[in-house]
Amino acid sequence: MCFDLDSSPPVNKIYGASVSHQDTVLTSADGTEFAAFIAEGGKENSPGIVVLPDVRGLYKFYEELALRFAESGYDAIAIDYFGRTAGVAKRDDDFDFMEHVAQTKVSQVIEDTNAAIDKLQESSSNKSRSIFTVGFCYGGSSSWMQSTQSSINGAIGFYGNPTRDSRDGTPGPIQRVNEFQSPILGLMGGDDAGIPVEEVEKFRSALNNANVQNELIIYNNAPHSFFDRKYEEFKSESADAWDQVLTFINQHA
């Protein structure tokens, strides 16, 4: 997984913000119930954010991130991936997530994300608020893949792998750019051993050739999972990445 279990997002809390939050259970199109965490920021018809975690699924880091979005004025839902194989209960630190990742399909993640989008729209008075996905690693690629749907205004991915096919055999993001229907933001580590800069540049070229609006930002010397309060040496990169996320949302809302 991307972060240690006691990690937290490198985003300062906004004290005094009007925020409510709760654990909940959503239902996907195939009838599967899955866990989610909702944080509401209280601004009428503001953009809604679906947070897509790394391979471990829903845990504290992403609940905290949803709260940071809510404090910034955006309703946010962080979702879990493993309702079909692991149920909806809270999990302990020994959860064998890779067993469940191997059984999870790209189409299921898209369906679950759509259920979260429907939930965000339910809480909007005009039922047509702007929607963005924000994902990390496994969730970063999943966020970009959500751009194949017409229901979002932008897809944001932190260090998702742009060229690797999914475990279920689904072609990776770079092979599906012609299906993308929304702008793409990528926040990548220049020293990510698993995702060489050359792969990011291939993705940029593919997006440009497909006329997909995009911005892929590479933070030189930053590793995979640099967006973590534990990484003090990458504090400025994390601050810039958060600013890029908020700017992207405001530009495309």
Mean pLDDT of 87-113: 95
Q: Are 46 and 34 in contact (CB under 8 A)?
A: no
pLDDT at 3 > cutoff 90: no
**CATH number of 20-252, picked from 2.20.28.120, 3.40.50.1820, 3.40.50.10470, 3.40.1390.10:** 3.40.50.1820
Residue 217 is predicted with a pLDDT of: 98
| Percent above pLDDT 90 for the chain | 89
Domains in the chain: boundaries? 20-252
pLDDT at 125 > cutoff 90: no
Q: Residue 15's pLDDT band (boundaries 50, 70, 90)? A: confident
Mean pLDDT of 195-204: 98
Average pLDDT of the chain is: 95
Element (H, E) at 100: helix 97-101
The tens digit of pLDDT for each residue in 157-166 reads 999 999 999 9
Interatomic CA distance for residues 157 and 59, integer angstroms: 18
Interatomic CA distance for residues 177 and 238, integer angstroms: 27
Say what the pTM is: 0.97
Q: Residue 17's pLDDT band (boundaries 50, 70, 90)? A: confident
The set of residues, in sequence order, having a beta carbon less than 8 Å from that of 118 and lying 6+ positions away, is none
> How far, CA to CA in Å, does 185 sit from each of 101, 133, 223?
24, 10, 18
Residue 99 is predicted with a pLDDT of: 95
pLDDT at 172 > cutoff 90: yes
